[in-house]
Amino acid sequence: MMSAHEHSQAPARAICAPSREEAHRFHLWMQGALALVVTLFTLWTFGRFRQSILWGGILAVICWPLFTRLRLRWNRPHAEIIIPAGISGGVALIFLMPTLFLVSALSRQAHEGSNWIKDVSRNGLAVPEWVDRLPIASSAIKHWWQNNLANPDRIHVLLHHLKTEQTLGAVEHVGHGAINTLVVACFALLILFFFLRAGDNIVARIEIFGKRLLGKRSALMLHHVTGAIRGTMAGLVLVGLGEGALITLSYVIAGAPQSLLLGIFTACAAMIPMIGGFALALCVVVILLKCSLTAAICVGVFGALILFLGDHFVRPVLIGGSIQLPFMWVLLGILGGLETWGVEGLFIGPVLAALTHLAWRLTSGHGLKA
């Protein structure tokens, strides 16, 4: 039999001792915290190869529908290896061929550009013929041009301010950046191959993890993530290339110098909303100096119209249409992501904006179901 003291201590021990369910819940929380710490430390250890993992995942999400379609139609031995390798090689060619073309074109133009700079430094920049045909302020513009741009001494002073040491430092920085980008891109393609090869297992585990973490609404959130990534790819890259192709056609018709190179520059800038306009303005200035005022005005108006239609009508539909994301959320996600995260932010920003907008709809709407 227990004494009176033991009887008084027994309820206290029963109250203080945690139940088996509470201990199990505590162990789960500790395991989750430990897993999170280990994961974050592992990602920090990966260093710059975090970018490779991120880009490999983005490309895997984009290429997954193509991979599943090819796998259904081409069911042969070693298809699980050949198809991911073929898709990875195709992605490499898509990015490699324009890069090689740009490098080749820039190397061809480097000598001509150097000779042009030497000629301008010796003789100045002559006043274009279209200045005399201006309806207003023709004499004032011509007078300013002759005193500044047509004067070899002024041009020489301007070129002298471009210090050689700073130029060499910038070239060295660009070289290191190009090498780093090449390494990250190669590992991203390798990761893409392994992601596609193990795609079914990865997708199954993501679905299980999402259900355990978020419950029934995990499928809806995964749909918004994949929709934002694929929509951003179509809305940024495809629309930018389409805008660049149409504007390049206007460059060719206007007789712009190196119209193809200017077109590639415009297309790359047009992939980012509101940035294509700055590239178009620079190209219009080149046409103004090399061609005529009429050609520059026509190209500027046509290019501005193409950029306006693409950025305000086509791009929002492609990026936010499938996930019901408003245009302002799309724009802020792209520009804010670019400023915060760099190039990767072009995809991270719309994904975060899509998830935030989904959370807003689910918590503030009526009748919304997972």
> Are 193 and 210 contained in the same domain?
no
**What stretch of H or E contains 3?**
none
> Are 62 and 170 contained in the same domain?
yes
Condensed to tens digits (0 to 9), the pLDDT of residues 237-281 reads: 888 888 998 999 999 898 887 787 788 888 888 888 778 889 899
- Give residue 163's identity as a one-letter amino acid code: K
Condensed to tens digits (0 to 9), the pLDDT of residues 2-22 reads: 555 555 555 555 555 567 777
| Per-residue pLDDT at 171 exceeds 50 | no
* Domain final residue, candidates 139, 170, 197: 197
Q: With contact defined as beta carbons under 8 Å apart, do 266 and 247 qualify? A: yes
> Are 224 and 242 contained in the same domain?
yes
Please give the residue that has the higher pLDDT: either 193 or 120. Answer: 193
Phi-psi category of residue 367: left, alpha or beta, with phi > 0 → left and psi -120 to 50 → alpha: left
159: in domain: yes
> Are 263 and 283 contained in the same domain?
yes
116: in domain: no
Q: With contact defined as beta carbons under 8 Å apart, do 291 and 255 qualify? A: yes
* Domain final residue, candidates 197, 227, 261: 197
121: in domain: no
The tokens describing 193, both together, are: 């191959």
> Are 229 and 90 contained in the same domain?
no
Count how many domains the chain has.
2
How many CB atoms lie under 10 A from the CB of residue 128? Answer: 17
* Residue 245 backbone dihedrals phi, psi, to 5 degrees: -65, -45
Please tell me whether the overall predicted TM-score, pTM, comes out greater than 0.75 for this model. Answer: no
> Are 284 and 347 contained in the same domain?
yes
* Residue ranges making up the domain that contains 366: 200-370
> Are 209 and 192 contained in the same domain?
no
